[in-house]
Amino acid sequence: MNNEVEHDDLEEEQKHEHHHFVASSGQDPLRVDKYLMNFIENATRSKIQQGIKEGAVTVNGALVKSNYKVKPLDDIRVSFDHPPHESLLVAEDIPLDIVYEDDHLVVVNKPPGMVVHPGHGNYSGTLINALIHHFENLPNNSSNRPGLVHRIDKDTSGLLVVAKTEESMAYLSAQFAAKTSEREYIAIVWGNFNESKGTVEGNIGRHPKNRLQNTVWLGDDADKGKVAVTHYSVEEDFGYVTVINCRLETGRTHQIRVHMKFIGHTLFNDERYGGDRILKGTNFTKYKQFVDNCFKVLPRQALHARTLGFKHPHTKEWMSFTSDVPQDMVECIDKWRTYATNSKDM
């Protein structure tokens, strides 16, 4: 049966491309609707199938049906009649936790659950929507995102610096690129460490089969990723989980999450990387109930951008900021601390 249907060039010209994927050279045959579920965030299979039925998906320039099997190096594009929402920024009156502000920059403390910039499935309620409401004429970065010097993930909380002028954008961005800024995170990870501190080095790039994940590339495949270095030290060891401090030397997407999984210490309750299930501990029912309670207290990956340091773009003075660990992480750590103490007393 032929899964490809006739391609209408005229109609395609009127569409706007929202996604573009090229299947890896090792791609196993997989239905295109299932393939896209791994690559488009917040998309359900029924929505993807509806989009395919409406002619939104092409493979190698041809419209396909949902049961088309993706093959190695297939060129897959998802297009709609409207432009991508993330290119249409709307100011929204969203409260901001401003830690510091002057004429050149703003330091904000982002809560967990807030997306930094509009993207697929998150077109409003983002930090940028809030920023363009509170501040006028923010400079665009290289990706045309107003004010953003760097970013952190949706479910990661903590500190971000925002540029208010073109000069500040250039100066701050150069510091991050030169690795002279300071960024330290606190995380809860599965397992315990044999050493009190260490360094993870491994190039990070897109996962070959799941576009929503990144992975470490080594050896002959190292050029598929970008250089990434994370320094870590143990703060508290609870046996089954450990609280660590991570200092970033580079700033790759999901860097701490990817590096910690790479060394066998996936972040606690990190759903995307498999930390939302028990990876260390016992089979006792009471332990499973305890972990489930911890997941409920902290319904996100256990990661907080605690410290941020950089040279001020105008005064050239060193500035350093610290954000308190948010309540959900504090409660989770307290639970594990109590559990570890009681286990020793038994």
E strand segments, the chain: 4-5, 16-22, 30-31, 57-59, 62-64, 69-70, 75-80, 98-101, 105-110, 157-163, 182-190, 197-201, 203-206, 214-217, 229-237, 241-248, 303-311, 318-322
191: left (phi over 0), alpha (psi -120 to 50) or beta: left
**HSE-up of residue 112 (Cα within 13 Å, Cβ side):** 17
Q: Are 332 and 297 in contact (CB under 8 A)?
A: yes
Residues 6+ away with beta carbon under 8 Å from 91: 129, 132, 133
Q: Which helix (H) or strand (E) holds 288?
A: helix 285-297
User: What tokens were used for 218?
Assistant: 């080594």
**Distance of alpha carbon 250 from alpha carbon 228, whole angstroms:** 5
Q: Among candidates 247, 261, 286, 251, which has minimal Cα distance to 189?
A: 261
- C-alpha–C-alpha distance, residues 342 and 36, integer Å: 46
Q: How far apart are CA 249 and CA 256, in angstroms?
A: 11
Pair of tokens at residue 79: 């297009």
So which residues are the catalytic ones? 153
* CA–CA dist 316, 8 (Å, integer): 57
What's the rounded Cα separation, in Å, for the pair 154 and 130? 15
